[in-house]
Structure 1
Amino acid sequence: MRGVSIEEIRHIAELSSPCLWRAARGFGREPKLYLHWSAGRYGQLFDAYHINIDADGSVYVSTENFAEVLAHTWMRNSGAIGITLACAYRATTEDLGSFPPTEMQIEVIAAVVAELAGILRIPVDVRHVLTHGEAADNEDGMYPHAPYGPKTNCERWDLEYLGTEESPSFAPWAQGKRGGDILRGKAIWYAG
């Protein structure tokens, strides 16, 4: 795991783009960006994700090839980049606990998404950029598995809410206030 800048993320994405596209096309789709929280503590980084973002906004990569298949999103890993926030240890749908997503993490993940989407030439929408919770419920219209997210059994609900003014509470049917909505909106702003 090594710390990187946004410029280094851009460089790795540019080198990885052809392989990501080839892998995604093998499944009849475009590349995806999956957004997670690690369900760990601040400072705790995991190599199941291509990119880890710590509480202070520091960015780390676990690989020099974003096309490498890692174990971040069940049945959705080929042709996809997994990005996680180091946070949410013991979070529940009622309380994000002592390690909620920080303001810096939220801003940095949005900036990283904007950068990656630009390099990959994919739109920042729910068909291409999903939280793990949204992917678990197949909200992109693809059905590689039975739903297991916040609208069904809540097995995975990463970033369903952020604990911020814009996304204050668990509300899987609330349009515009879900974590994914907020993060995509911020990414669009960063792409500006």
Structure 2
Amino acid sequence: MKRVTLKDIQRLAEAARQQLWAEARDMQRDVKVYLHWTAGRYGQRFNDYHINIDQDGSLWVSTDDFAETLPHTWHRNTASVAVALCCGYGATSNDIGPYPPTAKQIEAMAQVTAVLAKALWLTIDRDRIMTHAEAADNVDGLLPEGDEYGPRNGCERWDLQFLGTAESSTFLTDYDDPRTGGNVMRGKALWYQKQWEK
């Protein structure tokens, strides 16, 4: 693992953009960014994700090639970039657990999302930037019907369905509700994108 800055992430994403888009076009879809938590403790980083974000908001990459296919999201690894918060150990849908996402992690993930969206020519929306929970419930229709494994379908994977913050305090399965973790993260990323354009 190597510690990096937002500028480094921008550079790595731009370097991978052409290959990611070629792979995505072969699959007749857009490049995707998937937002996760590791279900581990603070300080535990995993090579399954391109970018790990630790408790203090520090950014770590497991590879210098964001076009490298890593095993982060079932049936969705090709032509995608995975970003994970180092947290979530012991979390349940009723209790965010002893290692909840920190405010610094949440803001860092929003910033990383904004940087990746710009560098990879992506719109910040649910079709291109998704939590693992949203992907597992096939919110964008990419999985074959019946392959869902998220909060609405057994809850095997529900990364970031809620954040344990005032704005996302409850486990919900209405993906249009602004309080879901995905909607909060995308909203924050859009805010950063607008601030940086000024």
Mapped to 1, the partners of 2:109 and 2:144 lie a distance apart of 26
Structural mapping, 1:133-144, within 5 Å: 133-144=133-144
Residue correspondences, number: 192
- Give the match for residue 155 of structure 2: 154
- The structural deviation recorded for 1:141 is 2.3
Mapped to 2, the partners of 1:70 and 1:152 lie a distance apart of 24
| TM-score, scaled to structure 1 | 0.98
Mapped to 1, the partners of 2:32 and 2:100 lie a distance apart of 25
Deviation per CA, 1:135-186: give whole Å up to 9, x if none: 0011012224611101111000000000001100111116111000000000
CA contact (8 A) 2:75 2:143 kept: no
Deviation per CA, 1:94-150: give whole Å up to 9, x if none: 111110000000000000000000111111111000000000011012224611101
Segments of 4+ moved more than 4 angstroms:
none
Secondary structure at the counterpart of residue 152 of structure 1: coil
Mapped to 2, the partners of 1:140 and 1:186 lie a distance apart of 21
Mapped to 2, the partners of 1:119 and 1:144 lie a distance apart of 29
CA contact (8 A) 2:49 2:70 kept: yes
Mapped to 2, the partners of 1:22 and 1:65 lie a distance apart of 15
Secondary structure at the counterpart of residue 82 of structure 1: strand
- Give the match for residue 60 of structure 1: 60
Deviation per CA, 1:26-80: give whole Å up to 9, x if none: 1100100000000000000000000000000000000001010000000100000
1:180 aligns with 2:153: no
Percent of counterpart pairs with the same letter? Answer: 50
Unaligned stretches of 5+ residues in structure 1? none
CA contact (8 A) 2:131 2:161 kept: yes
